[in-house]
Homo-oligomer: A and B are copies of this chain.
Amino acid sequence: MTRTARELAQFLGATVEGDSDALVERVASPESARPADLIYVDSPKHLDRASRSAARCAVVALEADLPGKTLLRAANPKLAFAKAAAWLLPPARIAQGVHPTAVVAASARLARDAAVGPYAVIEEAVEIGGGTEIGAFCFLGAGSRVGEECRLYPRVALYAGSQIGNRVVIHSGTVVGSDGFGYVYGEGRYWKFPQAGTVVIEDDVEIGSNTSIDRGALDATHIGTGTKIDNLVQVAHNVRIGVHTVVAAQTGISGSSTVGNHVVVGGQVGIADHCRIEDGAILGAQAGIPTGKIIRGGQTVWGTPARPLDRFKEQYVWHARLPELAERVRKLEEKAGED
């Protein structure tokens, strides 16, 4: 979609400087941009890269100095750039219409403009909302419900009964609603604890590829509005994640733990079972939260077992100097022995 700088500025609520008729077609990094690509600069140290770019038009901060380009000035240039990109580049369609090879149960209810790709399987009593696109090889188990304007990339599996809100995006390979890892040990073996709950995913959630989200054992696993989950993440049974939280790749959240709103979880973090991560907490990459632990609202923690970042750093400084500290103790002993 081609837009003028003026149209973009209006859309973004930005001010325009320079040629407001300049045409913008796509977005790019400064190095790979062609003239009709929009670029952005959110730090003075990148102004040089931008000024060497072939792009005619750039989103910059209110005070930035970048001669020779048409400028869209915004308080948060990266945010304005992201919004511009979404407007210029609507995502490619995942499916168009209902492909004749899709296996759709008679009792499934698809909105008129829902689309289903080749070889998708839609079981009994599934509901799919308007504008939603279901990719090739997707499996929607009986009674699952997907809201409006959702995008399920090829090869997503929803086990029976999964409930997905509106504008939810799920990437390839992700499994929603598989049985939780719950067993009772007795008589020399493990017996399966019932995994009879479901999964509820609210609006505007995005989930990466090859992630696993287990159904609740007796109630629901719940993911709140606007939360973003990366690739290869494990969300166990009965987990509750709040709204507008981000969970980076390869993190695991164990059974019955809760993660609050606006939490930031780094990559490869392990949250054991029955933990409570309160609103606004930040868990550094690879942190390990032991069973039942509470991380207070707004706290930043790191390490295994996780502790406040300042404490981690202070301890680590001395850890790194342990050989030296041990030598100082040896010298003191030597001196004390001489006395």
Check B326–A184 contact: CB distance below 8 A. no
Instruction: Name which residue of chain B comes closest to A190, CB basis.
Output: B228
**Residues in chain B near residue A32, CB distance under 8 A:** 218-219
Within the complex, what minimum Cβ distance (angstroms) separates A82 from chain B?
5
- With A and B bound together, what is the CA distance between A317 and B307 in angstroms? 13
Q: A323 at interface (Cβ–Cβ under 8 A)? A: yes
Check A79 for interface membership: any CB of B closer than 8 A. yes
Distance, CA A187 to CA B101, complexed state (A) = 43
Are A103 and B78 touching (Cβ within 8 A)? no
A165 interfacial by beta-carbon distance below 8 Å: no
* Interchain CB contact under 8 A, B154 and A157: yes
Across the interface, do A181 and B208 meet the contact criterion of CB distance under 8 Å? Answer: yes
With A190-B228, A231-B214, A232-B234 as contacts: A208 and B78 at CB distance below 8 Å: no
Question: Do A189 and B204 have beta carbons less than 8 Å apart?
Answer: yes
Q: Within the assembled complex, what's the spacing in Å between the Cα atoms of A199 and B102?
A: 29
A320 sits at the interface (CB 8 A): yes
- Given the known interface contacts A139-B136, A172-B178, A175-B172, the answer about A190 and B246 at a Cβ–Cβ threshold of 8 Å is yes
Instruction: List, in ascending order, chain B residues with CB within 8 A of A286's CB.
Output: 270, 286, 288, 304
Contacts of A14 in B (CB 8 A): none
Interface pair B329/A193, CB less than 8 Å apart: no
B-side contacts of A272, CB under 8 Å: 266-267, 285
Interchain CB contact under 8 A, A191 and B322 = no
Of the candidates B117, B194, B270, the one whose C-beta lies within 8 Å of that of A285 is B270
Q: Does A61 contact B (CB under 8 A)?
A: no
Given A101-B103, A135-B139, 18 additional A-B pairs, CB 8 A: A27-B218, A29-B217, A31-B219, A32-B219, A76-B184, A79-B184, A82-B192, A92-B160, A119-B121, A178-B208, A181-B230, A181-B231, A212-B232, A232-B252, A234-B249, A317-B323, A318-B326, A319-B319
